[in-house]
Structure 1
Amino acid sequence: MAGVRALLEVMERLRDPDTGCPWDQKQTMQSLLPYTQEEVYEVMAAIEQGNMDEIADELGDLLFQVVFYAKLGAEQAAFDFDSIAAGTAAKLIRRHPHVYAEDGRPLGKNDKRPSDAEIKARWEQIKQQERLAKAPEEPTVFRDIPHNLPAILMANKLQKRAASVGFDWTEKAPVLDKIEEELDEVRVELERGNQEAVAAEIGDLLFAVVNLARHCQVNPEAALQQTNRKFKQRFQAIEASLAAQGLTPAEQSLAELEALWGKVKANEK
């Protein structure tokens, strides 16, 4: 663990009140939040690109964020890096009774193991017990869900929690029907011209689409990110094609742009 020790020592030096870095000395958990979010997305981008050197580099940046929070916690005598790691290890052992025995002993290959269905049921039971322990005064399946999650992730988590107590369809057909229903309601409100109602119905439609992604075992955030990249690449191809002729998209009609879009898609195939 020489690398971990070296990183922790660097963090100590950066936060040293006398000889440390002025920028690092000023940081708080709140001020680090935007940097942490940025690092998470950079890790995701590196993984999607498949460059292992880039992945390792971005994971290092994300690890530094964890080490930074751990240092701030240690300065407040709340927690440190070791207690975070130990707590996580204990939690993972507790959540994997199909890998570890009750006393924490790793199960051998000859030990009896539960079925996949039993593993899933046990996982939900353990998570529910942990939520109750964290917030016993809050009698809801939504306890401990952070209120500031991105909307798509929040929708997915709310749906999963409701599903954990049986509030969920077992087939995809009614999920698709719900999307059609919500789309019809958007059309109705568009005709009425009620902007507030339109926004509410579009929210319902997005929630229903996230539900479809969940039922199809598709990560909705990743799926939308993929579509964003695809849209960007296609439109940039249109820009490049027009630039070669000394033209710009703004000079084209919608019909002309759609024709170019069709050509780009055809070339992809």
Structure 2
Amino acid sequence: AKLRGENGCPWDRKQTAQTLVKYIRNETEELIAAIENKDKENICEELGDVLYLICMITAINEEQGNFTFPQVVQGINEKLIRRHPHVFAGTRYKDEEELARQWEAIKAEEKREHRQAAEKREP
């Protein structure tokens, strides 16, 4: 918040989610390279860069009244629980193939629900 505040950094203050896309792409590519090279120190640094961008985009959206950081965390928490019924709901699978099919079915249902919600919002 301080970086984007009244006395914050001019560069940070003028950023939007859209202007940060190229940085997300670049930092993600750098993280992938560090992982592929098994460069532990660089992995740590690049994770920090990606996390910074996640926080920055979240802060921008908070400023716009779109959503908050706790909502982002709650959303991923709910998604992980929903997509892992074998961990959180006692569901059993005979093998990893069945587990993968269920994962894809859950994702497909989520996409369908998102589409339906978007259609309801459209005038």
User: Normalising by structure 2, what TM-score?
Assistant: 0.88
Aligned counterpart, 2:3? 14
Aligned counterpart, 1:134? 114
Aligned counterpart, 1:122? 102
Aligned counterpart, 1:50? 38
1:39 to 8, 27, 51: 27
Aligned counterpart, 1:66? 54
Gapped runs of 5+ residues in structure 2?
119-123
Read off the aligned partner of 1:50 and give its amino acid letter: K
Q: Deviations over 1:220-250 (max 9, x none)?
A: xxxxxxxxxxxxxxxxxxxxxxxxxxxxxxx
Aligned counterpart, 2:18? 30
Read off the aligned partner of 2:77 and give its amino acid letter: A
Aligned counterpart, 2:65? 77
Q: CA RMSD in A?
A: 1.7
User: Aligned with 2:86: secondary structure?
Assistant: coil
Distance 2:115 2:43 in 1: 36
Distance 1:29 1:94 in 2: 28
User: Aligned with 2:18: secondary structure?
Assistant: helix
Distance 2:86 2:78 in 1: 15
Larger Rg: 1
Runs of 4+ in 1 over 6 A off after TM superposition: none
Aligned counterpart, 2:92? 113
Gapped runs of 5+ residues in structure 1?
1-11, 102-106, 139-269
User: Aligned with 1:79: secondary structure?
Assistant: coil
Identity of aligned residues (%): 41
Q: Deviations over 1:106-146 (max 9, x none)?
A: x5xxxx622223312221221111111011399xxxxxxxx
User: Normalising by structure 1, what TM-score?
Assistant: 0.42
Distance 1:65 1:97, change over 3 A: same
Aligned counterpart, 2:88? 100
Aligned counterpart, 1:179? none
Distance 1:137 1:52, change over 3 A: closer
Distance 1:123 1:45 in 2: 28
Distance 1:38 1:96 in 2: 31
Distance 1:99 1:134 in 2: 24
Higher relative contact order (CA 8 A, sep 6+): 2
Distance 2:71 2:47 in 1: 21
Alpha-carbon offset, residue 88 of structure 1: 0.5
Q: Deviations over 1:5-40 (max 9, x none)?
A: xxxxxxx11010x21101100001111111110000
Read off the aligned partner of 1:52 and give its amino acid letter: K
